[in-house]
Structures are given as C-alpha cells and as structure tokens.
Chains A and B, each alone.
Chain A
Amino acid sequence: MGSRASTLLREEEIEEIKKETGFSHSQITRLYSRFTSLDKGENGTLSREDFQRIPELAINPLGDRIINAFFPEGEDQVNFRGFMRTLAHFRPIEDNEKNKDPIASEPLNSRSNKLLFAFRLYDLDRDDKISRDELLQVLRMMVGVNISDEQLGSIADRTIQEADQNGDNSISFNEFIKVGNVYILYIDIDIDI
C-alpha cells in the first residue's frame, strides 16, 4: 500500500505541495496513503460520501460543514492538491518558520488563517458576518430539542452581545479573532476545559 502510493505521487508534485502547505516529505506521503484509502472509487478524487465514512466527522454536529470546506465552490469532487490545501490549515504552527521569509505571503496554517477556516464554518452565506440566524442554526445542531426555542434565542443574543464590538448585531471576523485570542489565554488557566 505504501509503495504503491509513493509511485503514484511524483517528486515534483511533492515539492510543490511542500512549498504551498509546509508539510514535510514523510507527512505528505502518509497523507497520500490516507487519501487513497478513503478513495473507494479509485479515481484520484474524493466525494462527500467518502468523507462521511470517517467516524469522527460523521458524529460531529458540524461535520457536514467541515466536509463542505474541503470542496471548492460548487464542485463535488476534490483531488489530492485541494485535500492538502485544506489540511494545511491544521498543521501546527512552528516557531522557526517566522524567521524564514518575511516577504512571502502568510502561510496557510497561520493563526488567523486557522481562525478564518473556523469562521467560515459558521458563516454559511459568506458575507463575512455571523448573524443571529446562523448562530441559531449552530445551536440547534449542537443541542437538539432539549432547550426551548426562546432560551436558544437568548443564548444567541448573549453570544453576539459578548463578542460584538461595533454594534451591528453580528460577529465579524475581527471580533471572532478577538474571542479566539482570549480563549488561548483561558485554556491555560481554566483546567476544566
């Protein structure tokens, strides 16, 4: 399985992917073998059903949205390059990268790009704002019918009120970044989470 994978992936391709995403050689070959194991149709692309087969994504309330994030606008198949490009968001940030190339554009796994990825999960209509309705949808998915509608509405209102700073009753990307930054402080202190 491993040797078959590496012969199907050419060296130049690996180099290109490495430059674009920052993964190392061994990581790319491992991810390629995972890609091929998911690709049941063996046509070099993944469809949405292939992703649904991953148990962690299947039971995740936001699973569908995460899967959508892999597919570019309007398409139903994703090839290995696209797969890697999305996965690059999840690579851990390493310190020595900061010194490399100050002129190059921000790497795909920078903090703000990660936050942008998360932001896009919630902002369905891509208007760069998370509105109250979008929050309600997410709450409904997370909580089901155990909490009454009006309580859900108050939770959504309260969330917006906490994060919103310019008073437009929705959460923009900058405000979302602010929440994320404070969260990083809290996960050191708050052992419960």
Chain B
Amino acid sequence: MASLKEEVEEKKKLIATLRNKPWRMKRRLKLLKECQAFVEEFEGALGKGKGRKLYAYKVMMAKKMIKFNRDFDNFKTACIPWERKIKEVESHFGSSVASYFIFLRWMYGLNLVLFAFMFGLVVLPEVMMGLPYGSIPRKTVPRAEQDRAMDISVLLDFGGYCKYSILFYGFYNDERTIGVLQFRLPLSYLLVGVGIFGYSLMVVIRTMARNSDEGGDGGDDGQFTFAFKMFTSWDYLIGNPETADNKYASITTSFKESIVDEQENQKDENIHLRRFLRVLANFLILCSLGGSGFLIYFVVKRSQEFANLDQDDLSWFEKNEVEFVMSLLGLVCPPLFETIAELEEYHPRIALKWQLGRIFALFLGNLYTFLFALFDEVNAKLEKEKSIRNATIWGLNEYYSNYSSYHNTTDIPPPDIHPADVIRGPCWETAVGIEFVKLTVSDIQVTYMTILIGDFLRAMIVRFLNYCWCWDLEAGFPSYGEFDISGNVLGLIFNQGMIWMGAFYAPGLVGLNVLRLLTSMYYQCWAVMSCNVPHERVFKASKSNNFYMGLLLLVLFLSLLPVVYTIMTLPPSFDCGPFSGREQMYNVVMETIENDLPAFIGNIFTYATNPGLILPAVLLMVLAIYYLNATSKNYQNANLELKKKMQMARDEEKNRRNNKENTNQVMQDLEDLLPNRSLLPPAAAEEKPPPVREKGSKSPKVAKRPGAAANGKGINIQKDVSLAAPNPKAAVTHPPGPRGPSGNARGPPPGPARGRGRGTPPSRR
C-alpha cells in the first residue's frame, strides 16, 4: 500500500518535471501517457482522485467474486456423489480397486444423461400427448392374452401388460405429429436412438483425451519417490478421526504399492526363460480360447437343429444347452487364464490388462451367440409377419367391398372392431427389446447372487466356522475373497454394450440400467468393505483409466453395428412402433425433410449425399488424422528430450558439486586444461551410475551407494596424491598455443603462474 503511494507520487512528480527533461518529444509523449494512465488507475485505490468510489466498488466486487467462485467450486466438489465412500475403499484396498468404483460412477453419469434424453424426448411426449392405453390395437393387450396378462410369471417374463407399455418399442404410435405442440414423435425416436450413440462416443473420446493428459502408465519413477512419500504424505488439514484412520490406511497402502513397484524393478532377469514361458502361456490360452469358440459354435448349431424339432421332445438340458455352456465357460475360463498367467510373471498392473483382454475375447464369443440367436428369431418373425400382413390387407379389402355392396355408399367408416380383437403381427422389434431386457435382468440377478454367495456367505463361513474347524480357514483354503477387478470391469462394460444395443428397441431399458448402477454402487461398496480383503500385492492403478475406456469404445462400436444395420436394412413391422407402414426406418427423416423443412434444404441434402462430395470429404478427414497424429508424435518426442535434458542437468550439477568438494586445485587446473576431462571419469564414474535411472540397475545401485560412500573419499584422496606427482611435466607438455610464451619460463615451476588466478594449490608440496 505504501509502496503504491510512493509510486503514484513519483509518477506525478515525473509528469510535472517532464518538460524540463532533455529528451525527444516522442519519448516524452510516451512517458506522459504511461504516467497519466498509471496515476488514473491507482489514484482511486489511494482514496483520492475522481475514480475513488468506482474503484472501491470495483475492488469490493472483485473480492466478492473471488469468494463466490471459491464457494461455488467447493459446492461443486461437495456435489460429486459417493466421494467419501470411494476414498474409504481406496485407502483400504488401494487405487486399483477404487478405479473400478470411479469407473462405475462415471458410467452412472453417462447413463443418467442417456436416460434424460430417452425419457424427455420420447417417453414423456408419448405419455402426455399420445393416445392412452387401449385406444388403438398396438397399445392394447390382445384378447387371447388378456386373461393371463396380470399373472406374475407372465409379467416377470415381460409379457402381458409389460409388453404393451412404454417400456417397449411396440407401444409408440406412428402419427407424424402428436398433440398441441405438433411434436414429431417418429423423428424424435430415430434421432434419439442415433443420438445416444453419438453422445456416448463423444463422451468416451473426450474422457480418453482428458485422461491421456495426465501422463502414461502408473509407476513413473520420479526422482524422490520414497522421500516424497515419507515427508509429504500426511494431509495436515484433516480434523476428523475417521478420515485420519483412512489416511493412515492409505499411507500404508501407498508404501506397499511402492514396495511392489520396487520389487518388480529389481527382479532377476533371465530373459530367455521368461520369453519362453510367456510364449508357452500365450499358446495355451489361445488354445483354450479356440476350444471355447468351437464349443460355442457347435452348441449354437445344435440349438438351431433343436428349434426345428418338436419342443416337447427335448429335455430341459437340451432346451437350455446354449445358456448352460456359456455360463460354464464364464465360470471356468477366467480362473484358468489366471493360473496360466502366473507363468508369465508380469507386473500386477500389466497382468491385469492381459487378463482383461483375454476375458474380453471370451465374452465376445458370448456376444456372437446371442446376436446369432436373436437374428434367427428376427428373420422368423419377419416371415410370419408377411403372411399376417397379407391376411390383414385381404380382410380389410373384403370388409370394404362387402360394406359398399351392402350399404351402397362410397363413404365407408373404418371397421368397428375392438382394439383387442384386431389381428396383430408379431412385432419383432418388441421381441428383440424383450430379449435384451430379460438378459439385463438375469445379468443383474447373477451378479448380485454371486456377491451374496461367493463373498458374503463365504466370509460368514470362514469367520464363524473357524472356531470349530481343523485347519485355519482364514489363512488356508477358502479364506476371504479378494475383489475381482477384471471380472467386474468387464461385466460393467458388456452390460453397457447390451444397453446400447437394446435402447433402441426398449426405451425403458436405460431407466432400468440407471437403477441397476445406483444399487450396484451401494451394494458393492458395502460388500467390498465388509467381505473382502485387500490383494496380497497391492498395486497402483495406472493414472489414466484409458484402458477401460478403450475397451468401452470397442464395445460401443460393436453395439453400434447391429442397430445401424437394422435402421438401414430391415423393414419395420407394419402395425407397431413409430415407423410402422414405412419401407425403411430412416424414411422418416426423408419425409420430414420433404414436408416440414423449406425446399432449398432438401436440395442441400441431395447435393450433400452425392458420392462425388462424400469421397473427397472422407479423404480430407483421413489426411487430417494423419497430420495430427504426426504432430502429436513430434510433441511427445520433444517432451521426452526435454525430460532427458533436465535429468542430465541435474546429474551434471550433482557431479560438479560432488567433485568440487573432493578435488583440490590441481584437479581443477587439470580439468580446465584437458578438453575431454580424461582424468576425471574414474571419479565421476562412481557418481554417474547411481543417478542414472534405469529400471534394471536399481539393485546394483543399492549395493553401490554405500560402497561409494565408504570408498569415495578414500579414492579421491588417492587420486589427488597420484595426480599431484606427475603434474609439473604433464601440465607443461600438453596445451599448444597458450603455453607457448610461458614455455620459456619452464625453469621455475609454472604453478604460480597459473595458480595466480586461483590461489595456491595446496597439495603440490
């Protein structure tokens, strides 16, 4: 404050005396402007001058704004759901287990947005502005099914009233506009269906990009990892005892993680044996994957044959063979892969990734069978639909001709049949939707049951039977379960894939998933904290969740394909859903462009879909991708170079300081004379290998350092002594030019001549 006053005074004085200064006009004018601006700006701050009130007001508003921003940021952070729960899990189980829960929370957010889209733009308009239940055939339970429509068993199978409700595709009407607002439901349905994929794609890629910013794989070796952990890990702002307990656990876990990282770096490297074992392991796993793939194919083929036989002849096993085989594979293969993977001896983080990849390949087999079966069903229904459609059209024509011949008019009212009695086609989209919903529900049930039995029951048995059992259950065979990260993550990813595929045919599915994720979060957090123990070797998750995101992206593309194929190729049912009566589903968009938008937009679209325009656009995008890729690689390289330079600079300084402490003047003189420092390396070599950060050399470093410490002083002293002796001769003979003139003074030792600049070299005597 006082300094500001002084400066303002100074500037004012300068303005007053500017005329007297012997400067050019230009310079004076410039300085004058500067000073005047300065005085005007800050005089208000000092409570003088014109802008005083305004300035004080501005300062107060600025302070209030800062406080408001800070409070808002605090509020936003407090709004992040489940943060405390996840921190608790993290401090007890490590960051890899917590990364699963963070992923789960992210999924919940994504699904919430998708639900908002679906609900707000499709379900709500139909419910509020569309025709109510029972008014038209597609919204009514057919007469034949009505007496069983309320049975629990039928409802649980999603038949009956469930089937003809907003949950499924068939309920939606195909009127072009509905209600007072002229809401275009079919268009909205199609756009939301495609928009779900677009939004998910955008969010996944944005998250991947943001994560890749935070550095690569976890376990970067910094310069002072253990020192930082020791001196800086406590959070001094903690005041709550429970939080303090969590922090203790988290510090312990963090030390354990670093120990694991260190152990991995110090392992003995017998490269050939390890490579051989890894190749062997991969071969075995490929064999088992191939075997399971063949088994699935065989079983699906057989189920197709069974479908042609009479259903009553088949036993329960034969009817459910496909599901049985798939569950068996899902239970047996992951532990098998894990056992084989022990041959490979990877770092736990990398082993987790391999495990995820392999189970992913296995689950793709599941997906293949499911889609195959579904596709068969769809084709069958399409066939049936053709015949019913023909029958309906024939019936309608008959009715019209009879009516006109009977009553002799051309103004024929529509047939007066109760909606429940109308002949209905098999709505294949609703059938597909029902399949997806059933699959999701059974998936939820299996997961929850597995946790209840596999974790909770097991923990109860181990805890309470331990009192009366021969061997120690807790340390020995069953013991407490560990949290299965890979299984859970893959389950989550595949579940989301199902949702993406099914959302188009069953709008209620997204809501169901939101509920499922919500309960999953609480249920699994509880199960982990009460029934599981931390892993034997706690390892730090990689800083970015990009691996999970990558898998999710892959699944997103895989689930996009069937839906897009359906929209483009398969004909919609003729009597249910918002696209009924049209040739293809996307015709809705064409109709909208023709009827609702002005003419020239139609022209624009026609031009835009011209192949001559699309191909160059695709080419341009490919080139842009290539260019951006090349640029990013260059940046990465530059980054690495800078890091290396920084590391080298640090090492240089360390060496120079160490050498300064240990060498004498003689050494320094020599250092300057000899351009390549050939006399120094022995001393520097002691220091250089330790600071160089190679992963493999950490154990020699551990051994060398105390050794160097012990011998360092000794060796350097020896060097001093040994180098001091031949010094006079060496110094004189080496350097050419500069030594020339003083070569005449060779008689008296050249020491003082050089030593003048640096003081007397001590140990020369």
Residue positions of A touching B, CB distance < 8 A: 55-56, 59-62, 96, 99, 118, 122, 135, 138-139, 142-144, 146-147, 151, 154-155, 157-159, 161-169, 179, 182-183, 186, 189-193
Collect the chain A residues with CB atoms within 8 Å of residue B214's CB: 191
Assembly CA distance A99 to B2 (angstroms): 13
- In the complex, what's the smallest C-beta–C-beta distance from A36 to chain B, in angstroms? 21
User: Is B373's CB within 8 Å of the partner chain A?
Assistant: no
Top 4 closest A-B pairs, CB basis? A167-B709, A59-B244, A159-B226, A55-B239
The interface stretch among B445-453, B557-565, B700-708, B753-761 is B700-708
Given contacts A146-B252, A166-B661, contact A183 B224 (CB under 8 A): yes
Assembly CA distance A44 to B256 (angstroms): 46
Contact of A142 among B233, B256, B708 (CB under 8 A): B233
Given contacts A55-B239, A59-B244, A165-B654, contact A155 B228 (CB under 8 A): no
Do B224 and A192 have beta carbons less than 8 Å apart? no
Collect the chain B residues with CB atoms within 8 Å of residue A155's CB: 226, 230, 255, 259
Q: Is the interface of A mostly helix, strand, loop or mixed?
A: helix
Could you give, for residues 228-269 of chain B, a 1 whenever the CB lies within 8 Å of some chain A CB and a 0 otherwise?
Answer: 101111101111110010001001100110010010000000
Residue of A nearest to B213 (CB): A191
User: Is B223's CB within 8 Å of the partner chain A?
Assistant: yes
Contact of B234 among A55, A60, A146 (CB under 8 A): A60
Residue positions of B touching A, CB distance < 8 A: 3, 214-215, 222-228, 230-234, 236-241, 244, 248, 251-252, 255-256, 259, 262, 543, 654, 657-658, 661, 701-702, 705-706, 708-710, 712-713
Given contacts A60-B236, A147-B256, A186-B222, contact A163 B227 (CB under 8 A): yes
Assembly CA distance A139 to B226 (angstroms): 11
Do A179 and B234 have beta carbons less than 8 Å apart? no
Assembly CA distance A151 to B226 (angstroms): 13
- In the complex, what's the smallest C-beta–C-beta distance from A115 to chain B, in angstroms? 10
Do B255 and A143 have beta carbons less than 8 Å apart? yes
Collect the chain A residues with CB atoms within 8 Å of residue B708's CB: 167
Assembly CA distance A99 to B214 (angstroms): 37
Do A162 and B259 have beta carbons less than 8 Å apart? no
Assembly CA distance A171 to B328 (angstroms): 59
Collect the chain A residues with CB atoms within 8 Å of residue B256's CB: 147
Collect the chain B residues with CB atoms within 8 Å of residue A139's CB: 230
Contact of A179 among B231, B238, B239, B252 (CB under 8 A): B231
Do B231 and A118 have beta carbons less than 8 Å apart? yes
Do A56 and B237 have beta carbons less than 8 Å apart? yes
- In the complex, what's the smallest C-beta–C-beta distance from B489 to chain A, in angstroms? 20
- Residue of B214, B234, B241, B543 with highest tally of chain A CB at under 10 A: B234
Do A183 and B232 have beta carbons less than 8 Å apart? yes
Contact of A144 among B215, B231, B252 (CB under 8 A): B252
Do B236 and A162 have beta carbons less than 8 Å apart? no
Given contacts A56-B238, A147-B256, A167-B709, contact A162 B233 (CB under 8 A): no
Assembly CA distance A84 to B244 (angstroms): 27
Do A162 and B244 have beta carbons less than 8 Å apart? no
- In the complex, what's the smallest C-beta–C-beta distance from B684 to chain A, in angstroms? 14
Residue of B nearest to A176 (CB): B231
Do B226 and A158 have beta carbons less than 8 Å apart? yes
Given contact pairs A122-B231, A147-B256, A167-B708, enumerate 19 new A-B contacts (beta carbons under 8 Å).
A59-B238, A59-B241, A59-B244, A99-B3, A142-B230, A142-B234, A142-B248, A142-B251, A143-B255, A155-B230, A155-B259, A158-B226, A158-B262, A159-B227, A166-B658, A167-B705, A169-B709, A182-B224, A183-B224
Assembly CA distance A158 to B710 (angstroms): 17
